[in-house]
Amino acid sequence: MKQFVLASLFAGAVAVPAMADYTIIAPANPGGGWDQTARTMQTVMQEEGISKSAQVQNVPGAGGTIGLAQFASQNNGNPDALIVGGYVMVGAILTNNSPVSLKDVTPIARLTGEYEAIVVPAASSIQDIQGLVEALKADPGAVSWAGGSAGGTDHIAVGLIAKAAGVDPTKINYIAYSGGGEALAAILGNQVTAGISSLGEFEAQIQAGTLRLLAVSSPERLEGVDAPTLQEAGLDVTLENWRMVAAAPGLSDEQKAKVTADIEKMAKSENWQKQLADKGWMDTWLAGPEFDAQLEKDISATEAILKDIGLVK
């Protein structure tokens, strides 16, 4: 049994390159969104016959920048190496002053995404997004926001909301939690004024009536979600927390086209769509020049808001 454990750990953690078609780096610990994306890709690619034995390797740390740096330096020109990443990485690259950025890898496609949701505890006196904005305008420090890590999507969203409401983004009182439900616990326990995270994190609580959903960060109203968009509320903010897949740097055009075709085949398969539905992920497929342009836009907008909040000099 011990040998089996060792063998499986060895296969999973120290992937043997000769055996694997694709090695997918999840630049995070097991259990998080990137890890789940990578492992879902692994399952679907194997079942769809795209890759005989795809491997997932976790290289956690610093908002994915450790994994990204290791990936870029070790896989130059390797057409079998993939890395999962996302919007959080864009912010982390800027705040950590990472020497390696998304320009140093070959972005292939955006796969899934989630919109941000702004909630208050059911017991809160704030009834709608206007109420929250008024409180924010009256005294930004008195409105405490619980969300994910500093400089991450949630923090950026709060900065954007403050800016759109005409409040100094450096004055926001953002309380960062390290995911894992700690932020949700703080909101449910009435420790903070409001909470912000991906809609999926709050969905069950909203249904149960323990949280009140004030607004979502999508461009249009979401189906089956009873809340206005931030834009409807007069705040010009849309934000999507997307996840992407990238290939190694230094690929030829043919190699890049092959990887893109493989990923597209995976993302268009029924199997993938079923997985998305099971997990409650949105299909936000975008590839090619459109994706490159969107990425460019997201990076410059993120840099601007992080400077406004004061996280990036």
Q: Which residues would be at the binding site for other proteins (CB under 8 A)?
A: 1-2, 5-6, 8-10, 12-14, 29-32, 35-36, 39, 42-43, 57-62, 65-66, 69-70, 95-99, 141-142, 144, 149-151, 155, 173, 175-176, 178, 180-182, 184-186, 188-189, 191-192, 203-205, 207-208, 210, 278-280, 311
CA-CA-CA-CA torsion sign (186, 189, 191, 193)? positive
- Judged by beta carbon, residue 97 or residue 300, the one nearer other proteins is 97
Nearest distance in Å: CB 185, other proteins: 4
Nearest distance in Å: CB 254, other proteins: 30
Token pair recorded at residue 208: 């149960």
Nearest distance in Å: CB 156, other proteins: 11
- Judged by beta carbon, residue 193 or residue 229, the one nearer other proteins is 193
First to last CA, the chain: 53
Residue 21 burial (CB count, 10 A): 15
- Judged by beta carbon, residue 301 or residue 312, the one nearer other proteins is 312
Residue 15 burial (CB count, 10 A): 19
- Judged by beta carbon, residue 43 or residue 231, the one nearer other proteins is 43
Distance CA 158, CA 21 (A): 41
Distance CA 174, CA 150 (A): 8
Nearest distance in Å: CB 292, other proteins: 26
Q: Let me know: does 162 contact 169? Beta carbons within 8 Å.
A: yes
Give the SS3 label for residue 111: strand
Task: Report strand pairing: 144-147 vs 173-176.
Answer: parallel
Nearest distance in Å: CB 178, other proteins: 6
Q: Let me know: does 109 contact 294? Beta carbons within 8 Å.
A: no
Q: What is the DSSP letter of 110?
A: E
Nearest to 82 by CA among 60, 61, 57: 57
Nearest distance in Å: CB 47, other proteins: 9
Q: What is the DSSP string of 221-274?
A: PPTT--S-BTTTTT-----EEEEEEEE-SS--HHHHHHHHHHHHHHHHSHHHHH
- Judged by beta carbon, residue 192 or residue 246, the one nearer other proteins is 192
Token pair recorded at residue 158: 């709060």
- Judged by beta carbon, residue 126 or residue 311, the one nearer other proteins is 311
- Judged by beta carbon, residue 193 or residue 284, the one nearer other proteins is 193
Nearest distance in Å: CB 153, other proteins: 12
For 121, phi then psi, to 5°, come to: -60, 150
- Judged by beta carbon, residue 62 or residue 286, the one nearer other proteins is 62
